Copies of this chain bind each other. A is one copy, B any other.
Amino acid sequence: MHELNPNVSVDCVIFGFDFEKLTVLLIDRGQETKNGPRLALPGNLIYNDENLDQAASRVLDELAGIKNIYLEQVGAFGDPNRICKDADREWLQSIRAEPEARVITVAYYSLVKMSDYAPHASSFAKTAGWAPVSELFELAFDHYEILLAAKEKLRQKIKVQPIGFNLLPEKFTLSQLHKLYESILDKPLDKRNFRRKVQKLGIVTALKEKQRGVPHKPSLLYKFDVEKYESLSENGFDNFGF
């Protein structure tokens, strides 16, 4: 039964961080549709002989050349009209065997270091790349709604688990971590308060090393205390109180 199931798809929300903003991996479906948004989350129908996790990994690799990342489920999205906008229909007619079929989608999300994953488009993706989440307002299908739901999951997670290990380089400044938290929570956080909380959690260790080649006074570099970070990821911690 290695055939596509016409009624079930998966979509992937892959978050990155460009040191200023939270970003998301998008594909451009190209010129086939004259109107409507051309950007979409990487996603496609599942095969009947794979499970949902496998489908998400495969689709992400096929459309954006990204492999071997841990994907977590956001949930299922099944509005009967989710793929009925004209531009979406038009596009589906060019790529699907049964473009009129009802499709419910299962969304996944992940956090990755952008520097480790250079997306390259293939299959029906014309290009693949990163876009700042805060600058997006519309995507194909219900993908904008899915993006917001994934971001909300992230916002819930940040309250009870440390976040950043998968998004920041090995060595980073507290300013970078601070900007990451602000961009996930969508609000300014008092800098001194933030530093105090992070240090109280004990998840970062100061290095005897500063930034180099920056056009401002170089800041002290930190790394995550992996043992502490993992223990808090597993057990959760007291609500961080943002």
Write the residues of chain A forming the contact surface with B, with a CB cutoff of 8 angstroms: 1, 5-8, 46, 48-52, 55, 73, 75-80, 102, 104, 106, 159-160, 236-239, 241
Contacts A8-B104, A159-B160, A160-B160 supplied; 14 other A-B pairs, CB < 8 Å: A1-B80, A6-B7, A8-B8, A46-B104, A48-B80, A50-B80, A51-B79, A52-B76, A73-B76, A76-B76, A104-B106, A236-B239, A238-B239, A239-B239
The reply to whether B7 and A239 form a contact with Cβ atoms under 8 Å apart is no
- Within 8 Å CB of A48, what residues of B? 80, 102
Assembly stoichiometry (copies): 2
Alpha-carbon separation in the docked complex, A79 to B51 (Å): 5
Alpha-carbon separation in the docked complex, A153 to B46 (Å): 26
Alpha-carbon separation in the docked complex, A237 to B241 (Å): 8
In the complex, how many angstroms separate the beta carbon of A38 from the nearest chain B beta carbon?
Answer: 26
A8 in contact with B78 given A52-B104, A102-B1 (CB within 8 Å) = yes
A78 in contact with B49 given A236-B239, A241-B238 (CB within 8 Å) = no
The 4 A-B pairs with the shortest beta carbon distances in the complex, nearest first, are A52-B78, A7-B7, A238-B238, A76-B106
- Within 8 Å CB of A80, what residues of B? 1, 48-51
